[in-house]
Amino acid sequence: MHSRRKFLKALGIGAVAPTILLGQSVEPKRSRWEMIFGSPDTVKPEFAPNPASWDDSTITAAWIGHATVLINFFGTKIITDPVFSERIGLNILGLTTLGPKRLISPALSIKDLPPIDLILLSHAHMDHLDIPSLERFAKSVPMVIAKNTADVLENLGRKDVHELDWGEKMAVGGLEIEALQVKHFGWRFPWEKDRSRGEWTGRSYNAYLLSKNGRHIVFGGDTAYQEYFKEVGKRNLPIDLAIMPIGAYDPWIFNHANPEQAVEMANHLGVRQIMPIHWRTFIQSDEPTMEPITRFKAALEMTPERIALESVGQTWTLDPKLAQAGNNNNSAVGQALLSVQN
């Protein structure tokens, strides 16, 4: 993919040609450096979730932006990797933040969220663990975080922080959380210890299996392609949704999955539907902004019913019949019906 872009650039058509070739509308090319140092306009999402209308008798999830997903899991309200700031990155003397600016606003503001029962953090990277956003949540809300990363939060006065290592479990309000291994890295600053370097006491990074009332979903966090999920798939659980990262792969394919790899990992889990996240919100890589969703949809061209949503602000709901089925065995992929709020 990266070599293709170099070839097109040599022909003088580099910036927009990948978009044209993928059958999308042409969009302005904005570099990572422009997003860090410039002030491009932030657009509003076309869709807005309505959590007040969600039914506690099923599972509902809305993509707020990047890796931030609001989930109502049979009445347990979860927010994953909450990032609501205009910019993410390094705070300079409390005056400004040096890092990428949002392309698209969060689909909900923090004040519009329902009371949160659990904050779920996959790892300590600044686009997943955003201190200014976390400061705005009540200090009593339980927080689950990867092993050897709780110290990042030590100045926030959090009262209920739990580190989970791969394979470890805990429960909040009847919801079971199990940390899953992924292929990524964990350091927040380059000088920190990191498990990806073979340092077992270094910062870790998780995906999570969430379970309640005999139903299950997976929050993929951030990962390159890996086969650890195959072991979860062997359990034959009724996993209704995998929330999978599909962006920031060019040239960071060694730490981030491309859309086809995200689908393959979801297949390892045996899930019914896939929610694509970690694209469009921030420019952190070189692929065109809308390329990930185009490739994701192409990868599922033969089973489009497996696409849980495709835009910031859209909402997925588990088919109530499946919600009521509880501990029934997993059935054919695609039985969970898509429910998107416009």
Residues 198-255: tens digit of each pLDDT: 999 999 999 999 999 999 999 999 999 999 999 999 999 999 999 999 999 999 999 9
Question: Is 166 within a domain?
Answer: yes
Residues 93-124: tens digit of each pLDDT: 676 778 889 999 999 999 999 999 999 999 99
Which among 272, 293, 280 has a CA at the least distance from the CA of 67? Answer: 280
Based on the fold, state whether residues 117 and 265 are members of the same structural domain: yes
Q: Mind giving me the DSSP string for 202-249?
A: SB--EEEEEEETTEEEEE--S--S-STHHHHHTT---EEEEEEE----
Question: Is 311 within a domain?
Answer: yes
Residues 282-311: tens digit of each pLDDT: 988 999 999 999 999 999 999 999 999 999
pTM comes to 0.86
Based on the fold, state whether residues 174 and 302 are members of the same structural domain: yes
Residues 118-174: tens digit of each pLDDT: 999 999 999 999 999 999 999 999 999 999 999 999 999 998 999 999 999 999 989
Based on the fold, state whether residues 4 and 127 are members of the same structural domain: no
Number of structural domains, the chain? 2
- pLDDT at residue 27 greater than cutoff 60: no
Based on the fold, state whether residues 171 and 154 are members of the same structural domain: yes
Question: Is 217 within a domain?
Answer: yes
DSSP 8-state class, residue 38: S
Based on the fold, state whether residues 3 and 83 are members of the same structural domain: no
Q: For residue 38, what pLDDT is reported?
A: 53
Question: Is 342 within a domain?
Answer: no
Question: Is 120 within a domain?
Answer: yes
Higher pLDDT, residue 83 or 89: 83
Q: For residue 219, what pLDDT is reported?
A: 99
Question: Is 339 within a domain?
Answer: no
Based on the fold, state whether residues 310 and 280 are members of the same structural domain: yes
Based on the fold, state whether residues 281 and 164 are members of the same structural domain: yes
Question: Is 157 within a domain?
Answer: yes
Domain range holding 150?
36-325
CATH number, domain at 199? 3.60.15.10
- pLDDT at residue 334 greater than cutoff 60: no
Residue 215 dihedral angles phi and psi, to the nearest 5° = -115, 160
Using a pLDDT cut of 70, give the percent of the chain over it.
83
Question: Is 160 within a domain?
Answer: yes
Cis peptide before 251 (omega within 30 of 0): yes
